Amino acid sequence: MQYDVPEYEGNLRKFMLKVPEVIYRASGIKIFGKKIRSLVFTTDVCIIRNVNADAVIAIYPFTPQPVITQAILLTADKPVFCGVGGGLTTGKRVVNVASHAEFQGAMGVVVNAPTTNDIIAELHDSLDIPIVVTVVSENDDIEGRIKAGAAIFNVSGGQKTVEIVRKIREKYPKLPIIATGGPTDDTIAATIEAGANAITWTPPSSSEILGKIMDQYRESAANNMELKLFH
């Protein structure tokens, strides 16, 4: 028997971002007893505190810094997967940043596609949280990364994401896969059908959201002015 799920939103938090419903078709990945289906791709703490995603994937285009990780983990009300480098940032620094992220409470660490298998092996020896390895091409060394200690793969292949996910899933039926879902419900559904267990979702930026709110304020102010003029 199916039951309706009770929901409480409050008065002030009704206005929040919600991930596309189609993501709930995904099987999810259970990590430390928590099932993760949706991950919001952002480092904006305002977004993180006002979105219903199951987890956060916090990757940014600069050298990873523990103070940034600390700020995100301090404000997040959900599990966080922290980017720890592997591209511009390499070597022992990746291991140090990852260890610091684990000590601060990260649920997992994410390394970039150029990360060597040797570094993944060092991370595996040092950490108890899962190592998430980014995949950008069907030619990436999936087998080598698994042997090195990768626990989860994060497929971000642009327009080829669905194809890459499908090829990985065909060869590794039980491998945990996170993937970017694309811009529409149809692309998300296709990614899940190809074999993704969880989906990363890119939310609108704070400036985009604020712009829409300001438009509504202006429209409301104009309407109020018309009412005052005619009454």
Total domains present in the chain: 1
For 149-166, how does the pLDDT look when each residue is reduced to its tens digit (9 = 90+)? 999 999 999 999 999 999
- Sequence-distant (≥ 6) Cβ neighbours of residue 201 within 8 angstroms: 19, 20, 23, 38, 39, 40, 41, 53, 181
Angle at CA of residue 131, ends 33 and 116, nearest 5°: 170
Q: Is residue 178 part of a domain?
A: yes
Q: Is residue 165 part of a domain?
A: yes
Q: What percent of the chain has pLDDT over 70?
A: 93
pLDDT at 229: 43
Give me the chain's average pLDDT, please.
91
pLDDT at 227: 46
Q: Is residue 60 part of a domain?
A: yes
pLDDT at 226: 53
For the cut 50, the answer to whether the pLDDT of residue 216 exceeds it is yes
SS (H, E, C) 140-185: CCHHHHHHHCCCEEEECCHHHHHHHHHHHHHHCCCCCEEEECCCCH
Q: Is residue 225 part of a domain?
A: no
Confidence grade of residue 213 (pLDDT, cut at 50, 70, 90): confident
CATH number, domain with residue 199: 3.20.20.60
pLDDT at 21: 96
Q: Is residue 92 part of a domain?
A: yes
Q: Is residue 224 part of a domain?
A: no
| Rounded average pLDDT over 27-39 | 97
The pTM of the full predicted model, rounded to 2 decimals, is 0.89
Q: Is residue 14 part of a domain?
A: no
pLDDT at 125: 97
For 164-187, how does the pLDDT look when each residue is reduced to its tens digit (9 = 90+)? 999 999 999 999 999 999 989 999
Confidence grade of residue 119 (pLDDT, cut at 50, 70, 90): very high
pLDDT at 15: 73
Range of the domain at 180: 21-203
| Rounded average pLDDT over 183-209 | 95
Q: Is residue 35 part of a domain?
A: yes
| Rounded average pLDDT over 210-215 | 85
